Amino acid sequence: MVICTEFQAIVLAGGKGSRMTELTAGQPKCLLPIGNKPMIWFSLQLLERSGFNECLIVVSESVKNDVSLSLDKLDLKIKMEIIGIQGAEDLGTADSIRLIHEKIHTDFLVLSCDLITDIDISETLNLYRKHNASITALMLPMIKVPDEFVTPGPKNKQRPETDLIGIDNETGRLVFLASASDFEETINISQKILRKHTSFTMHSKLMDAHVYIINKWVLDFLVFNKNFSTLKGELLPYIVTKQLSKPPKQSLEDKNTSMVQVNLKEDIFRFAVAKPLDELIRRMSAFNDHNTDLQEAYHGDIIRCYAHIMNDGFGLRANTIQMYHLANFKISDWSSSIIKSDLFLNTSSSATVKSTQVQNCSIDENAFIDEKTSLKFSHIGANTVVETKTRISNSVIMGNVTIKERCIIHNSILCNGSIIEEGTELKNCIVGAQHVVTSNSQHSREVLTEADRLIEI
């Protein structure tokens, strides 16, 4: 494995999971279990197997201790510095990066804590290096949801988010980036794009993995420009668009203008500056990134954005209830390609399992599984109690849950500290943190929780 030292790695884990509040009311999104690991483990493991030996982790100050305690239990070699930001759950991704800019000294890689994948990002790093890019983004094929898969909770007609990603067929340049929800019926493509990139494909079935390799000058621009709150929704589309622009010709008076006086959003080229040595090398080199005309390499562009499409392997972002549950549904199939073992299906040495009917399950520390119980394709969290004559299948049972005797739990998610009284039947349900489900009740496709837990203040 090649050790990566020229980039700093940043894992963004401060989000509150606004599209899955039913699950995150009881614990931070980054600590939600997938298999027997907290969600953030997958991003850290990705960095580790890609050659990174240290990283920064951005979390909300209010959960910093919880995250630290959880990470201390993981068998990871990567050195982690956890940075707590007050109110991080209400900040955009660009805001979070801006607040920690003093800790970033080089080009850097940003990824979200909700990426579940088996890929190695070395090729993405190499694409960035090859072209000395401004930003390189990783794109993955959109995962197909199996026909038999059912998302717990009420039926939801909301369509998954679709990205529109324009990529030059010859150079791999990222020339267009937007959400399909930004357009009603038609998409207007500027004449500048069509003239400059005569052959590009507009993809609608790629997933932006939220893995970005970013040049240090972009960070400097972001620090001085407070107008950008998010990376994907605001900063990236802006940088992609500015590829079509050229640096303005400056007079001597302009060059002496202080940074405070200029319009920074219009003057990005005060940060994106070509190094004289790079220009000299390109003029002396026979390299060209295109063959459709006789213009110089990169058409003289100082700002260059690239998309790396990784067709091998799998990947999803567990940022909705559907994708979170799908990750748990598929993790046993994926485990060998992520870590070359069945670690996700182990039973903790401190767990007590009296049942002989346990199939493809992970059981965490200090869990108690009584006799005459049946567990199939499920995750049982730490300190959870499952009493006798209970059947659980295709479900995620988080920590400190109590399930009384004679219950049937199928394809459901039970959050921290919930109590399921005896004789209860749950099918395709979500039970909120600390909620008590009354005995002998039957529920299907429901969210069972106190309403005020879902209210965002």
The one-letter amino acid code at 152 reads: P
Top-level CATH class of 8-181+191-246+299-331? alpha beta
* Pair 171, 243: CB distance under 8 Å: no
The vertex-394 CA angle with 320 and 374, nearest 5°, equals 155
457 residues of the chain, pLDDT tens digit each: 556 678 999 999 988 788 898 999 878 999 999 988 999 999 999 999 899 999 999 999 999 999 999 999 888 999 999 999 998 788 899 999 999 999 999 999 999 999 999 888 999 999 999 999 999 999 999 988 998 999 999 987 666 778 899 999 988 999 999 988 888 778 888 888 888 888 899 999 999 999 999 999 999 999 999 999 999 999 999 999 999 888 877 544 454 555 555 555 558 999 988 766 666 556 656 566 666 665 666 667 889 999 999 988 788 999 999 999 999 988 877 765 665 554 566 889 999 999 999 998 999 999 999 999 999 999 999 999 999 999 999 999 999 999 999 999 999 999 999 999 999 999 999 999 999 999 999 999 999 998 655 544 3
Tell me the CA distances in angstroms from 369 to 124, 197, 327, 348, one per residue in order. 44, 61, 24, 12
CA distance linking residue 454 with residue 21, whole number of Å = 6
| Terminal C-alpha separation, the chain | 46
Note whether 8-181+191-246+299-331 and 346-448 share their fold. Answer: no
CA distance linking residue 84 with residue 59, whole number of Å = 5
Tell me the CA distances in angstroms from 267 to 101, 133, 252, 354, one per residue in order. 20, 19, 16, 68
Give the CATH number of domain 346-448: 2.160.10.10
* Secondary structure class of 165 (helix, strand, coil): strand
Helix and strand tally (H, E) in the chain? Answer: 11, 32
Q: Where are the alpha helices (DSSP H) in 108-214?
A: 122-131, 191-196
Tell me the CA distances in angstroms from 34 to 327, 414, 446, one per residue in order. 7, 13, 22
Global confidence as pTM: 0.89
- The structural domains of the chain, with segments of one domain joined by +, span 8-181+191-246+299-331, 346-448
